[in-house]
Amino acid sequence: MKLLILNRLDVVHLLPMEVCLELVAEGLEALGRGEAVNPLRPIMWLPDKRGLLGLMPGYVEGREALGLKVISIFPGNHGTEYDSHQGGVLLFDTEHGCLRALIDAGAVTAIRTAAASGVATRLLAREDAGDLALLGSGVQARTHLEAMRVVREIRRVRVWSRTTAHVQVFAKEESERQGVAIEVVESVQEAVEGADLICTLTASPKPILMGDWISPGAHINAVGASISTTRELDTAAVVGSRLFVDRRESTVNESGDFLIPKKEGAIGEDHIVGEIGEILLEQIGGRTSGEEVTLFKSLGLAVEDVVPAHYLYHRAKEEGVGTWVDFGDDVDEE
């Protein structure tokens, strides 16, 4: 049996943001129709809490996409030569359960997470939204800038990060790569003042975005906090927003941005308006006025990994991209 291995460069080449947006939307629609299996992810922390290992299995009917993402998350890697998210997406066939591909999970995660925010922004942000605040200057800031430019005409970009040297490099490199002027600012409040698109992309365990700073009509993609004990938004920011999620079950079990205000008694589970897949299927509506603040809480789902992984496998075969290795029971012994 042959196993296909796709590295980071292969994934970047084969999975442009415009394509990934549609693949992620497909996965979320399948979840909304009940045509996907997406259990809660088990997480194993290292004893000193410096990092964790997450397992994200999923299956999507139609494409017959079956896979498992195994990923390590080490927040201390921010600002170093190492990505904070590393691992592999394992793709299996659904006839015999054979392992077909091993795909760089860091690359898939970087693109598909931003693509999910792009889908939410396309559905929830005002049509004229184009003043973008990026809170964070890591891998997700790079891909989110790309995704926001796919779904809206961006006229201004401000970026904030705690690491001055890192944010300066980000602004220089992405200004050149994406052909857009990027302003580096010294505070979160300065970054979001008047912004109608806000993406929170940090590893901060405590709120960095306060409700008092958010302008009427803004849309927020809250991405960085992915466990129950951390959050990027304060309670006022969540209370003052119409909250949409990738999946209710994940949100009420895993999201500190939701669970901490709930524990404080500020919101209940009815504060969740609905899932992005439900908007895509026209089961619920999205934005109702130009003045309301909309919030998409992104936790990341296995369906957002396995649908792109299925696409990558077949696209790679068509283009002759990747490395094939012998793997499995039929490998000849020497």
- pLDDT tens per residue, range 95-136: 999 999 999 999 999 999 999 999 999 999 999 999 999 999
Phi, psi angles (nearest 5°) of residue 43 = -125, 135
CA pseudo-torsion sign 173, 178, 179, 183: negative
Which has more pLDDT, 164 or 194?
194
Could you give the dihedral angle defined by the CA atoms of residues 296, 227, 76 and 199, in that order, rounded to the nearest 10 degrees?
10
**With 70 as the cut, is the pLDDT of residue 332 above it?**
no
Residues 188 and 62 in one domain: no
Tokens of 252: 């009420």
Residue 176 has pLDDT above 90, yes or no: yes
Domain presence at residue 118 = no
In this prediction, residues 142-168 reach a mean pLDDT of 96
Q: Is the residue at 334 inside a domain? A: no
d(CA 11, CA 13) in angstroms, rounded, equals: 5
**Better-predicted residue by pLDDT, 193 or 62:** 193
This prediction's pTM? 0.95
Residue 85's pLDDT is 83
Total of domains in the chain: 2
What is the tens place of the pLDDT at every residue in 276-310?
A: 999 999 999 999 999 999 999 999 999 999 999 99
Of 79-83, 103-107, 311-315, which range is least confident?
79-83
Nearest CA to 76 out of 67, 85, 68 is that of 85
Q: How confident is the model at residue 330 (pLDDT cuts 50, 70, 90)?
A: low
- H helices of 194-295, in order, are 235-239, 248-254, 256-263, 276-280
Does 155 share its domain with 28? no
Residue 242 has pLDDT above 70, yes or no: yes
Q: Is residue 265 part of a domain?
A: yes
Residues 164 and 267 in one domain: yes
The phi, psi pair for 94, rounded to 5°, reads -100, 5
Phi/psi of residue 211, nearest 5 degrees:
-60, -35
Residue 332 domain-assigned?
no
What share of the chain in percent tops pLDDT 70?
Answer: 98
Q: Is the pLDDT of residue 194 over 80?
A: yes
- pLDDT averaged over every residue in the chain: 95
Question: Does 150 lie in the same domain as 245?
Answer: yes
Q: How far apart are CA 162 and CA 168, in angstroms?
A: 11
pLDDT band at 82 (very low <50, low <70, confident <90, very high): confident
334 pLDDT higher than 50: no
Burial classification of residue 11, based on how many CB atoms lie within 10 Å of its CB (0-12 exposed, 13-18 middle, 19 or more buried): buried
- Contact of 255 with 299, CB cutoff 8 Å: yes
Question: Which band of pLDDT confidence, cut at 50, 70 and 90, is reported for residue 1?
Answer: confident
pLDDT digits (tens, 9 = 90+) for 30-73: 999 999 999 999 999 999 989 999 999 999 999 999 999 999 98
Domain presence at residue 333: no
* Cα distance between residue 180 and residue 186, in whole Å: 19
Same domain, 134 and 91: no
Name the strand (E) or helix (H) holding 12: helix 8-14
Which CATH number fits the domain that encloses residue 194? Answer: 3.40.50.720
Q: Residue 193 sits in which domain range?
A: 127-297
82-89 contacts, C-beta under 8 A, 24 or more apart = 83/139, 84/138, 84/139, 84/203, 85/109, 85/110, 85/139, 89/305, 89/306, 89/309
